[in-house]
């Protein structure tokens, strides 16, 4: 909708619908003046929510984390970062910046009114400022609940990350977020519908983050042998293409490790084999003629982060993984390793 300091900002359509709905309802029950006052107030709250998100965005950019955009909803906003904060301490700063903006607005209102905003207010203007003051305190307070993905949950995760690493910290913060969301829903059912809504918004985000953290954690401290693809069949280099095709039909495992005197020398994937079978050329050639060359074999006990060194930049994309007696246990692609190594580093980053 607009770009502010290079950050795309959009307003969700439901916000405009809410404005129209509230305006129409208040106009039909309480008249034009009340409806206009209400619209101005809703817009003022909207500005406070937007400033909250800009607090996150500016803190992120200053910490070197690029922003991909801000979306504003009727009851809050989302400031999306292009990537995750690199360290726990950075996440604490970025997450704190939003609620800090609301506390600052409340502070300014308090000072400007000489403290008058705390009470109900004896003039119309003061009553409006008082309402805005309390709204900002509620915005700050609600967002500081230690329930991931709320800001308080992110602050908690950032603090835990500096001690336990990203993956363990996220598992904890997201689990606490799940409990908090369920509590919000239960308390809301007895007290206030809005708490139910907040809980329902928090719960799926906490679930998603927990699943992601558990997936990432799988790669921390992993060895190549544990992430290698083991569903490959070893065939002798002299096997013909037709024989390999018959084998491929007979077994659910379709990719081949081509062996020469018990040493892995090449790799033949099912798509590559079947592309050749479908062509008109005879299948009497040995598989080695169409297989891809392999990089140096990688011992299965190698940590995933060290294994990337076995691949030369312009060399083969696939390597055999061998046990300590030199027998092949599977294959691994350079791309798999890069992804696994990134996830492993991410899981333990502080």
Q: Footprint of Zn ion on this chain (CB under 5 A)? A: 98, 143, 151
Smallest separation (angstroms) from Zn ion to the CB of 55: 8
> If we measure between CA atoms, which residue out of 124, 235, 227, 214 comes closest to residue 168?
214
Inter-CA distances, 38 with 121, 193, 258, Å = 17, 21, 75
275 burial (CB, 10 Å; 0-12 / 13-18 / 19+) is exposed
- The CB-of-119 to Zn ion minimum distance in angstroms stands at 28
Looking at the Cβ atoms of 98 and 116, the one nearer to Zn ion is 98
* CB-nearer residue toward Zn ion: 49 or 232: 49
Query: Please, which residue, 81 or 235, has the CB nearer to Zn ion?
Result: 81
Phi, psi at residue 313, to the nearest 5°?
Answer: -55, -40
Q: What is the DSSP string of 175-187?
A: HHHHHHHHHHHHH
Q: What are the strands, taking DSSP E only, across 92-243?
A: 232-236
User: Do residues 234 and 247 make contact, with C-beta atoms less than 8 angstroms apart?
Assistant: no
Q: Closer CB to Zn ion, residue 70 or residue 224?
A: 70
What's the closest the beta carbon of residue 98 comes to Zn ion, in angstroms? 3
Least gap, CB of 70 to Zn ion (angstroms): 11
Query: What is the nearest approach in angstroms of Zn ion to the Cβ of residue 53?
Result: 7
Q: How far is the CB of 148 from Zn ion (least distance, A)?
A: 12
Residues 6+ positions from 292 with CB-CB distance below 8 Å:
266, 267, 268, 269, 272, 316, 317, 318
Please, what is the minimum distance in Å from the beta carbon of residue 197 to Zn ion? 17
Rounded Cα distance between 2 and 77, Å, is 15
Q: 79's torsion region: left (phi>0), alpha (psi -120 to 50) or beta? A: beta
Q: With respect to Zn ion, which residue has the nearer C-beta, 144 or 307?
A: 144
Q: Which of 78, 142, 137 shows the shortest CA–CA distance to 103?
A: 137
Q: How far is the CB of 34 from Zn ion (least distance, A)?
A: 31
Interhelix angle 334-348/166-190, rounded to 10 degrees, is 60
Instruction: Give the residue closest to Zn ion by C-beta.
Output: 98
Task: Report residue 306 as tokens.
Answer: 């060290």
Task: Return the number of the residue (70 or 298) whose C-beta is nearest Zn ion.
Answer: 70
Rounded to the nearest angstrom, the gap between the alpha carbon of residue 186 and the centroid of all alpha carbons in its chain is 27
CA distance 226 to 215: 14
Q: Judged by CB, which is closer to Zn ion: 54, or 172?
A: 54
Q: Which is nearer to Zn ion, 151 or 255 (CB)?
A: 151
* 101 vs 304 by CB, closer to Zn ion: 101
Contact 267, 331 (CB under 8 A): yes
- Residue 217 CB, shortest distance to Zn ion, in Å, is 26
């Amino acid at each position: 909708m607009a770009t502010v300091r290079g950050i795309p900002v959009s307003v969700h359509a439901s916000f405009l619908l809410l404005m129209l709905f509230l305006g129409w309802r208040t106009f039909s029950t309480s008249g034009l003046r009340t409806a206009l006052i209400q619209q101005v107030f809703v817009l003022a709250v909207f500005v406070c929510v937007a400033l909250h998100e800009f607090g996150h965005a500016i803190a992120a950019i200053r910490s070197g984390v690029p922003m991909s955009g801000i979306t504003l909803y009727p009851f809050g906003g989302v400031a999306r970062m292009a990537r995750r904060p690199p360290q726990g301490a950075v996440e604490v700063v970025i997450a704190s910046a939003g609620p800090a903006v609301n506390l600052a607005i409340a502070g300014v209102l308090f000072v400007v009114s000489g403290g008058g905003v705390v009470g109900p207010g004896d003039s119309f203007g003061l009553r409006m400022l008082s309402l805005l003051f309390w709204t900002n305190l509620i915005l700050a307070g609600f967002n500081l609940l230690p329930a991931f993905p709320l800001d308080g949950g992110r602050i908690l995760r950032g603090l835990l990350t500096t001690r336990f690493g990203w993956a363990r910290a996220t598992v904890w913060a997201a689990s606490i977020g799940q409990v908090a969301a369920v509590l919000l829903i239960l308390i809301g059912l007895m007290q206030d519908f809005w708490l139910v809504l907040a809980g329902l918004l928090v719960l799926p985000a906490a679930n998603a983050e927990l699943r992601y953290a558990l997936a990432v954690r799988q790669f921390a401290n992993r060895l190549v042998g544990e992430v290698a693809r083991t569903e490959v069949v070893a065939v002798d280099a002299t096997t013909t293409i037709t024989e390999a095709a018959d084998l491929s039909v007979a077994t659910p495992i379709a990719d081949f490790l081509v062996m020469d005197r018990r040493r892995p020398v090449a790799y033949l994937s099912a798509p590559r084999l079947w592309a050749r079978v479908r062509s008109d050329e005879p299948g009497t050639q040995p598989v080695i003629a169409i297989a891809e060359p392999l990089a140096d074999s990688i011992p299965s006990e190698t940590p995933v982060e060290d294994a990337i060194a076995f691949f030369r930049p312009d060399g083969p994309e696939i390597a055999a993984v061998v046990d300590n007696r030199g027998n092949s246990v599977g294959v691994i692609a350079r791309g798999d390793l890069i992804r696994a190594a990134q996830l492993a580093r991410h899981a333990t980053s502080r």
